[in-house]
């Protein structure tokens, strides 16, 4: 008995062993943070017990999980994406923590990109690329700790890497960088850069282009919706205006090669305030199956015959009623075994094409609440690299937007159209949206909602793009029993000024 | 005593007919609810009611079950022995109603059918208890109690409206008396109906037979 008590005490202590050190835990980007995105968070755990720990980072409607090896260690540091917004929560076993959110809110801005700067000498990096009101907002990290998951870079517009020592990034970090660029991010590498796309099975970037930015020559390689820039370390060091060269290179990508910032708000992974989904489809009429008809007939037969049969056997009424009670309960139980309609998941997809072989997608999900309340993402799963976030949904539905890097190209369903100077072809973008809603274009009327949403957000000065209706299917079937309806899919290829 | 006996003899045929009705009471419940389910599935009815053939279908059937319970339960008039038969019949009716409602589970994703069984159970308990209590006093009392129960179930929403309109006060707490209103407003409270049913059945089973009294 004592042994049992001792064992149970030991088990209980092991279960609730780890303690979150709230003082030493915090956002690595603090005091900066882009609301509505995921930012890198250092979680410090003390009194760790067990071989592995399951760490989860929760946001409204989304849960990210990661397994961490903990054997033989009393203290542990984990870097995990944490949502910058209300409802963020970290949990490790029984312990949980509501993180203190970054104080400085960084909104998407064409003029002032939000940059993660990695360098083996962060002090040098601060000198070369400082945060300035007219330049960029920078967070500085050690190059040795380059993230192995693009989801830690979610909030950033660009990544700058100072690599004078020819440090080769591990395969995971190379993949993270490629995924970040495919989602529209810009990466600028100062110094040696060996991308190694063959080594990690990544789509190749476009052919390098030589650019002259101020007094420095650099290479640009388009990668999906994003781009990779490379400049020699010595060339930059000898330049008279190194910070401006970096900012100009980043703006070259963010401004689509133009000389001034486009109008409006830049595309970012911040969830949109207005849902791009059209009205949900009416639910399909449920039709009774053979089991329904069989049980209904059985119920009527039972209720009609049981009193007659019981009346032959006994003059008392209650035995028949009790038999009915039992029989009806059985029929009710069998009725619950009938096949039920599956919840509907409506999907609209915006595929972002670009240069090279990479492309990404933003998938808008609108689901009936019976499907799931929370989308769970296993950060250790190398096959699923998406990052969802909750969207405002209409009553009775739940909505998410999930960013998927490096997706397959879908076949076109119609001819592409060109957007330039607020005109699609020869009509204004609003007229084109109206025509799309009427089914007078190559886009379906379901595509029209997504098309209209994208045009309203982007069809302003400085934006040129090719738009095309696409075929699309999920890389992997969504978890759980659900009826998937693809409402629309359009491809967007942002075009640079001057081609 | 003599007049009571005469009344019993005079209404003997009526009592045996009501006993036969009671035997097939569950059939009446199941048949009526299946008919309501079929009626709701008809296009014109469905469009007029603004219903779709999904969760709303079963919910409409549950509302029909709650509303029709006072009309569908047919107690046998008589003494304590008959009250016991009424109790068994009430259980069979509630079970038949539940089976019919659950038959329509094929149309729903959630568990509204199962979730409302407690409410339907106490509604059947209260209705059958009050009608069985009335049946202890004669067929006329069954009719009177039926009208009273229908008023108690149906009128609180009207009283609430009148209170809001003319007194500026809310009668929302009266939803506990009306199962349909409680279901519609998600303010389900089982205790008032449970108490009414328990008291009514206690009375129906405990009251001495009139012949012995």
pLDDT tens digits along A398-426: 999 999 999 888 888 889 999 998 899 88
Q: Given an 8 Å threshold on Cβ–Cβ distance, is A300 in contact with B23?
A: no
Backbone angles phi, psi at B5, to 5 degrees: -65, -40
Cα angle: A97, vertex A98, A101; to 5 degrees: 135
Q: Given an 8 Å threshold on Cβ–Cβ distance, is A325 in contact with B91?
A: yes
User: What pLDDT sits at residue B15?
Assistant: 58
Residues on chain B touching A342 (C-beta within 8 angstroms)? 109
Task: Give B40 to chain A, closest Cα distance, Å.
Answer: 12
Task: Give B87 to chain A, closest Cα distance, Å.
Answer: 9
Residues on chain A touching B89 (C-beta within 8 angstroms)? 317, 321
Q: Given an 8 Å threshold on Cβ–Cβ distance, is A324 in contact with B26?
A: yes
Residues on chain A touching B52 (C-beta within 8 angstroms)? 282-283, 285
Give the whole-angstrom CA distance, residue A438 versus residue A445: 7
Of residues A307, A336, A341, nearest to B102 (C-beta): A336
Q: Which of the residue ranges A388-402, A440-454, B4-18 would you say has the lowest mean pLDDT?
A: B4-18
Percent of chain A topping pLDDT 90: 48
User: What pLDDT sits at residue A478?
Assistant: 74
Residues on chain B touching A333 (C-beta within 8 angstroms)? 102
The residue of chain A with its CA nearest to that of B26 is A303
Other Cβ atoms closer than 10 A to A409: 15
Q: How does pLDDT run across A369-383, given as a tens digit for each residue?
A: 888 889 999 999 888
Q: How does pLDDT run across B29-75, given as a tens digit for each residue?
A: 999 999 999 999 998 888 888 888 888 899 999 999 999 999 999 99
User: What pLDDT sits at residue A72?
Assistant: 75
User: What pLDDT sits at residue B14?
Assistant: 59
User: What pLDDT sits at residue A394?
Assistant: 80
Count of CA atoms in the C-beta half-sphere (13 A) of A487: 26
Give the whole-angstrom CA distance, residue A21 versus residue A414: 56
Q: CB distance from B209 to chain A under 8 Å?
A: no
DSSP type of residue A207: P
Please enumerate, as own/partner, the contacts of B76-79 that have beta carbons within 8 Å and a separation of 24 or more.
B76/A317, B76/B15, B76/B18, B76/B19, B76/B22, B76/B135, B77/B11, B77/B14, B77/B15, B77/B18, B77/B135, B77/B136, B77/B138, B77/B139, B77/B142, B78/B15, B78/B135, B78/B136, B79/B136, B79/B209, B79/B210, B79/B211
User: What pLDDT sits at residue A121?
Assistant: 87
Q: CB distance from A14 to chain B under 8 Å?
A: no
User: Taking 70 as the threshold, does the pLDDT of residue A498 lie above it?
Assistant: no
CA distances from residue B191 to B125, B159, B176, B194, B207 in whole angstroms, order as listed = 12, 21, 8, 5, 24
Q: CB distance from B88 to chain A under 8 Å?
A: yes
Can you spell out the DSSP letters for chain B? -HHHHHHHHHTHHHHHHHHHHHHTHHHHHHHHHHHHHHHHHSHHHHHHHT--SSHHHHHHHHHHHHHHHHHH--PPPSSHHHHHHHHHHHHHHHHHHHHHHHHGGGG-SS-HHHHTHHHHHHHHHHHHHHHHHHHTT-HHHHHHHHHHHHHHHHSHHHHHHHIIIII----GGGGGG-HHHHHHHT----HHHHHHHHHHHHHHHHSPPTTT-
User: What pLDDT sits at residue A22?
Assistant: 86
Q: Where are the domains of chain A?
A: 15-102, 107-254, 290-335, 344-495
User: What pLDDT sits at residue A18?
Assistant: 77
With both helix axes pointing from N to C terminus, report the angle between B80-103 and B12-23 in degrees, rounded to the nearest 10. 30
Pairing of strands A38-46, A375-378: unpaired
User: Taking 90 as the threshold, does the pLDDT of residue A260 lie above it?
Assistant: no
Q: What interface predicted TM-score (ipTM) does this complex get?
A: 0.87
Other Cβ atoms closer than 10 A to B50: 7
Give the whole-angstrom CA distance, residue A263 versus residue A14: 56
Q: Given an 8 Å threshold on Cβ–Cβ distance, is A329 in contact with B92?
A: no
Q: CB distance from A100 to chain B under 8 Å?
A: no
Q: Given an 8 Å threshold on Cβ–Cβ distance, is A282 in contact with B52?
A: yes
Residues on chain B touching A280 (C-beta within 8 angstroms)? none
Look at A57 and A15; give whichever has higher pLDDT: A57
CA distances from residue A31 to A28, A102, A121 in whole angstroms, order as listed = 8, 5, 21
User: Taking 50 as the threshold, does the pLDDT of residue A162 lie above it?
Assistant: yes
Three-class SS state of A419: strand
Q: Given an 8 Å threshold on Cβ–Cβ distance, is A324 in contact with B108?
A: no
User: Taking 90 as the threshold, does the pLDDT of residue A154 lie above it?
Assistant: yes
User: Taking 70 as the threshold, does the pLDDT of residue A274 lie above it?
Assistant: yes
- Closest to A419 in 3D by CA, of A430, A410, A409: A430
User: Taking 90 as the threshold, does the pLDDT of residue A116 lie above it?
Assistant: yes
Percent of chain B topping pLDDT 90: 57
Of residues B91, B106, B110, nearest to A339 (C-beta): B106
Q: What is the largest CA-CA distance in chain A?
A: 110
- Closest to B41 in 3D by CA, of B26, B29, B56, B31: B56
Q: CB distance from A343 to chain B under 8 Å?
A: yes
Give the whole-angstrom CA distance, residue B6 versus residue B12: 10
Q: CB distance from B59 to chain A under 8 Å?
A: no
Q: Given an 8 Å threshold on Cβ–Cβ distance, is B106 in contact with A292?
A: yes
The whole-number average pLDDT for the span B98-120 is 92
Residue A2: pLDDT band (50, 70, 90) is low
- Closest to A44 in 3D by CA, of A101, A103, A92: A92
Q: Given an 8 Å threshold on Cβ–Cβ distance, is A285 in contact with B84?
A: no
Task: Enumerate residues 139 to 168 of chain B having a beta carbon within 8 A of any beta carbon in chain A.
Answer: none
Three-class SS state of A453: helix
CATH class of A107-254: alpha beta
Q: CB distance from B125 to chain A under 8 Å?
A: no
A15-102: CATH number = 2.60.40
User: What pLDDT sits at residue A14?
Assistant: 46
Which tokens sit at A389? Answer: 């976030």
Which tokens sit at B137? Answer: 């006093």
Three-class SS state of A318: helix
Pairing of strands A26-27, A52-59: unpaired
Helix (H) or strand (E) holding A245: helix A242-254
- Closest to B68 in 3D by CA, of B48, B109, B39, B107: B39
Three-class SS state of A418: strand
Q: How does pLDDT run across A168-207, given as a tens digit for each residue?
A: 788 888 889 999 999 999 999 998 766 555 556 788 888 9
Q: Given an 8 Å threshold on Cβ–Cβ distance, is A335 in contact with B105?
A: yes
Q: How does pLDDT run across A457-467, given as a tens digit for each residue?
A: 898 888 899 99
Task: Enumerate residues 202 to 231 of chain A having a beta carbon within 8 A of any beta carbon in chain B.
Answer: none
User: What pLDDT sits at residue B71?
Assistant: 94
User: What pLDDT sits at residue B151?
Assistant: 93
Residues on chain B touching A343 (C-beta within 8 angstroms)? 109
Backbone angles phi, psi at A17, to 5 degrees: -70, -55
Which tokens sit at B28? Answer: 């009446």
Average pLDDT score, chain A: 87
Q: CB distance from A311 to chain B under 8 Å?
A: yes
Q: How does pLDDT run across A299-354, given as a tens digit for each residue?
A: 999 999 998 898 888 888 888 899 999 999 999 999 999 988 888 899 999 999 98
Which tokens sit at A319? Answer: 């035995």
Q: Given an 8 Å threshold on Cβ–Cβ distance, is A292 in contact with B54?
A: no
Of residues A286, A291, A335, nearest to B53 (C-beta): A286
């Amino acid at each position: 008995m004592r042994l049992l008590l001792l064992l149970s005490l030991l088990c209980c202590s092991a279960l609730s062993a780890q303690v979150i050190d709230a003082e030493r835990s915090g956002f690595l980007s603090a005091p900066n943070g882009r609301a509505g995105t995921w930012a890198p968070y250092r979680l410090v755990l003390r009194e760790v017990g067990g071989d592995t720990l399951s760490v989860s980072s929760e946001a409204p409607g989304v849960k990210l999980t990661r397994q961490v090896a903990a054997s033989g260690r009393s203290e542990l540091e984990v870097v995990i994406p944490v949502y910058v917004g209300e409802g963020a929560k970290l949990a490790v076993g029984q312990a949980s923590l509501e993180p203190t959110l970054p104080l400085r809110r960084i909104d998407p801005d064409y003029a002032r990109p939000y940059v993660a700067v990695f360098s083996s000498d962060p002090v040098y990096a601060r000198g070369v690329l400082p945060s300035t009101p007219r330049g960029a907002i920078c967070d500085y990290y050690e190059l040795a700790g380059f993230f192995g998951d693009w989801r830690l870079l979610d909030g950033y517009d660009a990544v700058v890497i100072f690599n004078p020592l020819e440090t080769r990034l591990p395969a995971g970090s190379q993949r993270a960088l490629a995924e970040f660029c495919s989602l529209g991010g810009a990466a600028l590498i100062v110094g040696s850069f060996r991308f190694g796309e063959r080594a990690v099975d990544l789509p190749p970037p476009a052919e390098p282009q030589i650019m002259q930015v101020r007094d420095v020559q650099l290479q640009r390689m388009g990668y999906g919706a994003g781009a990779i820039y490379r400049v020699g370390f010595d060339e930059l060091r000898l330049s008279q205006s190194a910070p401006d060269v970096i900012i100009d290179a980043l703006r070259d990508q963010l401004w689509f090669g133009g000389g001034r910032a486009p109008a409006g708000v830049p595309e970012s992974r911040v969830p949109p305030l207005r849902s791009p989904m059209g009205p949900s489809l009416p639910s399909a009429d449920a039709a009774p199956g053979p089991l329904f008809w069989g049980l209904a007939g059985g119920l009527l037969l039972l209720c009609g015959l049981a009193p007659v049969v019981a009346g032959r056997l006994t003059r008392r009424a209650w035995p028949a009623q009790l038999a009915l009670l039992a029989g009806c309960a059985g029929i009710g139980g069998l009725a619950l075994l009938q096949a039920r309609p599956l919840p509907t998941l409506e999907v609209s997809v915006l595929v972002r094409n670009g240069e090279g072989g990479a492309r990404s997608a933003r998938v808008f999900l609108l689901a009936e609440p019976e499907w799931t309340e929370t989308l769970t993402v296993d950060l250790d799963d190398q096959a699923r690299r998406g990052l969802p976030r909750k969207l405002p949904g209409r009553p009775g539905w739940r909505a998410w937007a999930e960013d998927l890097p490096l997706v397959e190209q879908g076949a076109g369903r119609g001819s592409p159209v060109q957007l330039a100077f607020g005109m699609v072809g020869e009509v204004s973008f609003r007229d084109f949206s109206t025509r799309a809603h009427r089914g007078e274009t190559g886009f379906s009327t379901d595509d029209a909602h997504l098309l209209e949403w994208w045009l309203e957000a982007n069809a302003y000065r400085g934006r040129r793009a090719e738009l095309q209706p696409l075929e699309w299917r999920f890389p992997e079937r969504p978890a759980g029993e659900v009826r998937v309806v693809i409402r629309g899919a359009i491809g967007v290829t942002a075009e640079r000024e001057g081609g | 005593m003599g007049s009571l006996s005469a009344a019993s003899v005079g209404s003997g045929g009526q009592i045996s007919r009501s006993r036969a009705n009671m035997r097939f009471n569950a059939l009446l419940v199941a048949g009526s609810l299946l008919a309501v389910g079929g009626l709701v599935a008809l296009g014109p009815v469905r469009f007029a009611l603004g219903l779709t053939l999904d969760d709303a279908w079963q919910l409409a059937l549950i509302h029909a079950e709650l509303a029709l319970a006072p009309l569908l339960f047919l107690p046998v008039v008589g003494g304590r022995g008959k009250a016991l038969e009424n109790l068994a019949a009430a259980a069979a009716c509630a079970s038949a109603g539940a089976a019919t409602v659950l038959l329509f589970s094929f149309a729903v994703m959630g568990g509204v059918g199962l979730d409302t069984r407690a409410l339907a159970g106490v509604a059947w308990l209260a209705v059958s208890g009050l009608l069985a209590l009335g049946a202890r006093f004669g067929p006329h009392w069954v009719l009177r109690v039926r009208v009273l129960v229908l008023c108690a179930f149906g009128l609180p929403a009207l009283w609430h409206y009148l209170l809001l309109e003319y007194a500026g006060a809310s009668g929302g707490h009266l939803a506990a008396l009306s199962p349909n209103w409680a279901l519609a407003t998600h303010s389900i409270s089982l205790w008032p109906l449970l108490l009414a049913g328990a008291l009514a059945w206690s009375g129906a089973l405990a009251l001495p037979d009139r012949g012995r009294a």
